[in-house]
Amino acid sequence: MERPAWAPRSIDITVPSVSRIYDFYLGGSHNFEVDREAARRAMEFVPGLPKIMQANRAFMRRAVRHAVDQGITQFLDIGSGIPTFGNVHEVAQAASPGARVVYVDHDPVAVAHSQAVLDGNPHADVAAADLLKPQDILTSPQVERLLDLDRPVALLLVAILHFVEDADDPYGAVAQLGRALAPGSLLVLTHASYEGIPLPAERAGGAVDVYKDIRNPLIMRSRDEIARFFEGYDMVEPGLVPMPHWRPDTAPEDEDPYAFSGFAGVGRTA
């Protein structure tokens, strides 16, 4: 297989990657045939997967604008993936030119792309680190250089927690990150769920099995299980809701039915 110039030497391009599959769903160009094949297999079960990803991104952009409206100009985006059009730094810096953004991902492809995209942007950077090691994130040179943790930060965990199994204690990791945030900070989160998918759970389970096959289990949690991530936060109206219902720009009834798969919410630290 031909290795494109943008692919770091260290990565195995014969193994699908969650962030490259996501890039494919969003119409990006930083993915390989092995990623497209896995994506197409998952779409055989859940044809609306690209719509779900687009709804995630649209919610993320609305939440970033909400944060800026609240006077927050610091963003920590964990599990940020491959930067595609309309990413956090673009939205935040369009709304507030001095906004500071640190992306965090453990996928070398996502990190390499982010470095290329952010080259020459003094207020945005990327750290190679893992959500499950919050201390590594909080003490990374990028966070220490760009973010003042004594002031409010928007912590973004968009479409990432459903790739963390309960055995790896995602609740503990999110709580540890939350404890590092100043009062008035925001937790911005989306999560996959069988609730809201316009398909029987058994059918949607076929897509979940595809992720399991590529050694990236997709953990579908209930609304109540997702709400637990917000323990200790005050929920911003309208609370934990299907993505198109969170402060929509357009009428939710005009959305594709798949956009309502899973939940989105924003919580504020007291």
In this structure, what CATH number is given to the domain that contains residue 42? Answer: 3.40.50.150
pLDDT of residue 117: 87
Residue 42 has what pLDDT?
97
Nearest Cα neighbor of 180 from 266, 269, 67 is 269
- Amino acid identity, residue 191? H
Residue 9 in domain: no
Answer whether residue 59 is part of any domain: yes
pLDDT tens digits in sequence order for the chain, 270 residues long: 677 777 777 778 888 989 999 999 999 988 899 999 999 999 999 999 999 999 999 999 999 999 999 999 999 999 999 887 789 999 999 999 999 999 999 988 889 889 988 999 999 999 999 999 999 999 999 999 999 999 999 999 999 999 999 999 999 999 999 999 999 999 999 999 999 999 999 999 999 999 999 988 999 999 999 999 999 999 999 999 999 999 999 999 999 999 999 999 999 998
In a domain, 99, yes or no: yes
- What is the number of domains present in the chain? 1
Is residue 10, in this structure, part of any structural domain at all? Answer: no
Within a domain: residue 31?
A: yes
Q: Helical H runs in the chain?
A: 18-25, 33-45, 49-69, 88-95, 108-118, 134-138, 141-146, 170-179, 201-213, 223-227
By the 10 Å C-beta count (0-12 exposed, 13-18 middle, 19+ buried), 163 is classed as middle
Residue 118 in domain = yes
Domain that residue 238 falls in: 18-269
What's the pTM? 0.94
Contacts (Cβ under 8 Å, ≥6 apart) of 122: none
Residue 5 lies in a domain: no
Residue 130: predicted pLDDT: 97
The answer to whether residue 124 is domain-embedded is yes
